[in-house]
Amino acid sequence: MEDIGHFIGGKRVAGTSGRAQDVLQPMDGSVRGKVALASAQEVRQAVENAKNAQPKWAATNPQRRVRVLMKFLELVHKEYDELAELLAREHGKTIPDAKGDIQRGLEVVEVCIGAPHMMKGEYTEGAGPGIDVYSMRQPLGVVAGITPFNFPAMIPLWKIAPAIASGNAFVLKPSERDPGVPMRIAELFIEAGLPEGILNVVNGDKEAVDALLDDPDIQAVGFVGSTPIAQYIYGRATANGKRAQCFGGAKNHLIVMPDADMDQTVDALIGAGYGSAGERCMAVSVAVPVGQETADRLVEKLIPRVESLKVGPSTDASADFGPLVTKEALERVKNYVDLGVEEGAKLRVDGRGFKMQGYENGYYMGGCLFDEVTPDMRIYKEEIFGPVLSVVRADTYDEALALPNDHEYGNGVAIFTRDGDAARDFAARVDVGMVGVNVPIPVPIAYYTFGGWKASHFGDLNQHGADAFRFYTKTKTVTSRWPSGIKDGAEFAIPTMR
């Protein structure tokens, strides 16, 4: 049993609040250790460490800052397997999926090695008589990230890397459900040469979150999680004068046109719908076949594939997906399946009764498939966050397009078709932030930005790519004129460049 405290001032420290929570192993329900839950005073200690360390780090030239990122990449690759196993055991996802979690985070770190270019300002010589104008990007100071359980490596790295590459100090509040990897990431950054205090990790619950949101030295907050909490964090952060980017829930649709390659489409739905037990904000949870014949063919092919999904412990590399993260998460998903049956949807595959031999205390559930789901049902409206796929039949392309357009969420969407005109029209007209054409999970590559629309995102700037550097920096513009170009006498009119 491991006791996990916090990471403050470049080292692990024990919690002092007297409060702690079990860290579970979802594949068998066992307790791996305890994680401390920070008090407001402990959060303040982390912020003060960051505040004291940040000016010197900001004064370090960008090339030297990114050398730390380069060394960090080297260190992570040396213990990739160990990190993936730790992540899998705490979260429940399979080890191959855990490696993907880490890799997608590292790709953003790789892009942030280009920070010296991203931090460049602009320069105009001779903007007016003897006048030059230039701008520069400068760090905000101390910034914070509040990250979810479902990607304990990727999302923290998406936020840490651009923040520290820009010259900020960072305070991370990861999920208390799987804190092991974020703590190890902090240690590896110190081993890579990051100065003490530039990256601090405070584990905790709402008390720690509120302390970050209310702390006057925190200049910006990034969050990923459910929509209700995203709304809460965005509202409280901005009310306190902070920048905020908050990413919420999703209900991602995959439109299946009559001309789609049906085998390719089914493969896409199986992987995107059931991978990681559906605990992804980009998981496809709604399939929308266009036309009854298309729907019948799709469901006929889906049923045996869902029935044959291999559910296994996190350490089984051959498993398609592992357990859900907690017993409460498992019961929540099962309750949604119960609700779908009550609402009148046709449950074609029922995974509620799945038991894993030898792992009876784990939080396992088989894949579920609903057909004839309608837009008025709660299982369509709400995010289930589990291995449940709903088929909503549409008679026409316009009817199918209206479903994601009218939905509360607007995170990701995809269309599968051989028709370039249909794909181009769909990409232009769909009211969703990330679109895939024959790509089921359209998470952009690291040098583009990630972000949904509508109730899936609160704030003006997205994650990673150029938006990350805009979010973590402020622009200063300098208008310069030297004495040789200055006329005698006071000027009372507003300055112009005539």
List, in order, residues 6 or more apart from 296 with CB less than 8 Å away.
none
Among 393, 420, 401, 372, smallest CA distance to 259 is for 420
How far, in Å, CA of 91 to CA of 154, rounded?
13
Tokens at 33, concatenated: 């250790």
The token pair at 51 is 């505040």
Helix spans in 452-491 (H): 466-471
Own/partner pairs, 485-491, CB within 8 angstroms, 24+ separation: 485/129, 485/130, 485/131, 486/130
Cα distance between residue 329 and residue 319, in whole Å: 20
| Selected catalytic residue, list 112, 246, 281, 368 | 281
The alpha-helical segments, DSSP class H, found in 249-325 are 262-274, 292-307
- Using alpha carbons only, give the angle 369, 374, 377 rounded to the nearest 5 degrees: 90
Distances in whole angstroms, Cα of residue 179 to Cα of each of 109, 225, 284, 447: 20, 16, 27, 27
Rounded distance between C-alpha atoms, residue 327 and residue 333, angstroms: 10
Rounded Cα distance between 423 and 412, Å, is 15
How far is the C-alpha of 64 from the C-alpha of 60, rounded, in Å?
A: 7
CA-to-CA dists, residue 319 to 146, 307, 312, 322, angstroms: 30, 14, 5, 7
| Contact status, residue 477 vs residue 135, Cβ threshold 8 Å | yes
Judged by DSSP in three states, 394 sits in strand
Determine the Cα–Cα distance for residues 437 and 428; give it in Å rounded to an integer. Answer: 12
User: Residue 44: enclosing H or E segment and its boundaries?
Assistant: helix 40-59
Does residue 107 contact residue 202 with C-beta atoms inside 8 Å? no
Q: Name all contacts of 422-428 with Cβ < 8 Å and 24+ positions apart.
A: 422/257, 422/397, 426/255, 426/401
Q: How many helices (H) and strands (E) does the chain have?
A: 16, 23
β-sheet with 30-36: strand ranges across: 2-4, 30-36, 20-25
The verdict on whether 112 is a catalytic residue reads no
How long, in residues, is the chain? Answer: 498
List active site positions.
281
